[in-house]
Chains A and B, each alone.
Chain A
Amino acid sequence: MKSVYIIGRDTLPQSISLGEGEQLSLTIVYASALEGAPAEADIPLTVSLDGRGASLDIAGLYICKGESRLRLKVDVRHNACGCTSRQLFKGLVADQAKAVFDGLVYVAHGAQKTSAAQESHAILLSAGAVAENRPQLEIYADDVECSHGATCGQLNDDELFYMRSRGIPEDEARRLQILSFLSPVLSRLPEDLAESIMK
């Protein structure tokens, strides 16, 4: 499997199963301004941790501009004992664009010693932009560690003022803020891809 999927260029499997001790790390990228990116994208992905001790590390980055629409539906299913999943999604939504993150963490009956973490954060860059985070946990085992965090917000004014007070012009300061916000996912990408996304 590839480790980076760019929506519009690569075909992401809809369903992945991980067997005993198997590890998977993957990063999904959607940027409406990238060449080949569809204006509307509906991305369903199910990853099932079916074998004992399997581990998943998944990240996603989306930048929706104009009238673009993105729906990311990620189901992570812990079906076996001792599996680990880490999810981190970061997105920017500008103009009249809309992004929806629908994330389910499912822990089956008997999938003890599960460790699952899900983070999804979106920043709205204009008044007409919409971002929705719908994190869900469905847990049927009792010995599990699950955490999730979801936020929708704006760029922080205090950070912006701090940078401007050092002489960094407002546009450049906003670019640095965006870089700061996206960096945990950007750092997983090849440098040239990260650069073309930041343009």
Chain B
Amino acid sequence: MNEVLLEIKDLHAGIEGKEILKGVNLTIRRGEIHAVMGPNGAGKSTLSAVLAGKPSYTVTSGSVTFAGKDLLAMSPEERAWAGLFLSFQYPVEIPGVSFTAFMKAALAAKRKAAGLPELSPAEFLRLLKEKMAFVQMKPEFIKREVGVGFSGGEKKRAEVFQMAMLEPVLSILDETDSGLDVDALRIVAEGVMNLHTEQTSAIVITHYQRLLDYIVPDVVHVLKDGVIVRTAGRELVAQIEEKGYEGIL
């Protein structure tokens, strides 16, 4: 068995005084893909926000260890440098800031934290083009402002492009399938699968089976009312699709 990459123990967290996660336990080993499914309001997006360190959420108890380190003690940027990546359900728009400038700042900070020299402009450009081709993004996107005028599918593709640039060891995909048509879904999912290695892991948060047809999970969890109520293999996805959450619990 591969080593443990992420270990969540009895995690309680919430926002504005309201507890949403009520004791989540989850262990993810390197190379594994875990799906977290569950009805609306179960706490799926809270889990991803808490793991990425969104300041508006408060952790009240429990622990999260990531690659041997205390994740909860780290700032959002330190988590990114350590190899955590969150693909947002609703990526933001940053008018006036080009995708190039944005990625340059992100990559430079990550390399600096790793003690690596900054890439030369030519090296950066080469990497940019390579990763864009990887997610089939049109080259003109890189000159555009972050998120501005992107369709839903383009936004999600841009998230996977950033993931390809930053080469995370743990990717959290928060409802990456929402708002995608079948073609965009396939491109995004193939991108995620092509980035997946024996050393990297992913948490796929979704309502539906369709994304999991492409990103095949090793383990499936059902989150309900802030706790994981069921954990099984990938066969659970089909059961949920057939019987609904109520039917499998």
Contacts and interface: CB of A to CB of B under 8 A. Distances in A.
B149 interface: no
A102 to B, nearest CB: 26
Given A157-B56, A172-B105, A176-B105, A165 B96 contact: no
A13 interface: no
A188 interface: no
Interface string A153-173: 000111101111111111010
Interface residues of A, number: 25
Interface in A132-190: 156-159, 161-170, 172, 176-177, 179-184, 186-187
Interface in B137-187: 162, 166
Interface stretch (B32-40, B62-70, B85-93, B197-205): B85-93
A167 B76 CA distance: 7
Nearest to A178: B96
Contacts of B94: 159, 162-163, 176-177, 180
B92 A167 contact: no
Interface string B55-99: 110000000000000000001110111000110100110111100
Nearest to A158: B92
A118 B86 CA distance: 38
Interface stretch (B106-114, B117-125, B217-225): B106-114
A161 B55 contact: yes
A166 B109 CA distance: 9
A167 B166 contact: yes
B96 A172 contact: no
B52 interface: yes
A104 B106 CA distance: 43
Contacts of A156: 92
B126 interface: no
Contact of A162 (B75, B79, B92): B92
B210 interface: no
Interface of B: 52-56, 75-77, 79-81, 85-86, 88, 91-92, 94-97, 101-102, 105-107, 109-110, 113, 162, 166
11 contacts: A156-B92, A164-B76, A165-B79, A165-B88, A167-B77, A168-B106, A169-B109, A170-B77, A176-B101, A176-B102, A186-B96
Interface of A: 156-159, 161-170, 172, 176-177, 179-184, 186-187
